[in-house]
A and B are shown apart, each in its own frame.
Chain A
């Protein structure tokens, strides 16, 4: 079983829609969680950390569900510019960090 798994998508949603992605992790001792955004042919960029209590940054909300071992990213009022691949990253130990393979989102006009 992979350390981190994501639905590759693609998720095709209309502008203004709300969309959510999940990222499941296999190690219950995982400690830190992050979402990155990667545009086509660009490097990944940190979108937000995921805190135990959940956190929000504008239209983006990240949540952690330790019981079911997944993190989620919710995007409200989708914009065309949100089209990208969203990668999750999970830290299990000091040197053990794993990326998911990413979920591709396309926002359609």
Chain B
């Protein structure tokens, strides 16, 4: 697509439920990144994909978080048993190739755990 598309744009979920966030990167971009940003805070790196593989999962906050990417395109970030501290904006970005140039970010998914 023309830009990075994320869905849903907003998600309100009850504590303890699982949520799945989707990112559709720019067509042909092989590198894909997930970040989260809490209110008034900086960008927290979560995970990075080069193609379908994730060389760096170091930012995932706990084992409740997982991500996958299939077909070198769409990625899903899954949060199991959500907690209130998971509330944040989850941003996805893509790049033609890892480490080169700037990112294009999607508009994010605003997750609220109540």
Query: How many cross-chain pairs have Cβ atoms below 8 Å apart between A and B?
Result: 45
B56 CB contacts on chain A under 8 angstroms: 95
CA distance A21 to B108 in the complex (A): 26
Q: How far is the CA of A94 from the CA of B31 in the complex (A)?
A: 11
B103 CB–A CB distance under 8 Å: yes
How many residues of chain B have a CB within 8 Å of chain A? 21
Mark interface residues in B101-114 (1 if CB within 8 Å of A CB, else 0).
11111111000000
Give the chain A neighbours of B104 by CB distance below 8 A.
Answer: 46
Contacting chain B: which of A12-20, A52-60, A66-74, A99-107?
A99-107
Question: Which residues does B use to contact A, with CB under 8 Å?
Answer: 33, 35, 41-43, 45, 48, 55-56, 91, 98-108
Does A32 count as interface, using CB distance less than 8 angstroms?
yes
Cβ-defined partner of A44 (8 Å) among B41, B43, B48: B43
B98 touches A95 (CB 8 A): yes
Residues of B within 8 Å of A46, CB to CB, are 102-104
Query: Is the Cβ of B42 less than 8 Å from the Cβ of A99?
Result: yes
Instruction: Considering the complex, give the chain A residue whose CB is closest to the CB of B110.
Output: A41
B42–A94 CB distance below 8 A: no
Residues of chain A within 8 A (CB-CB) of B35 are 99
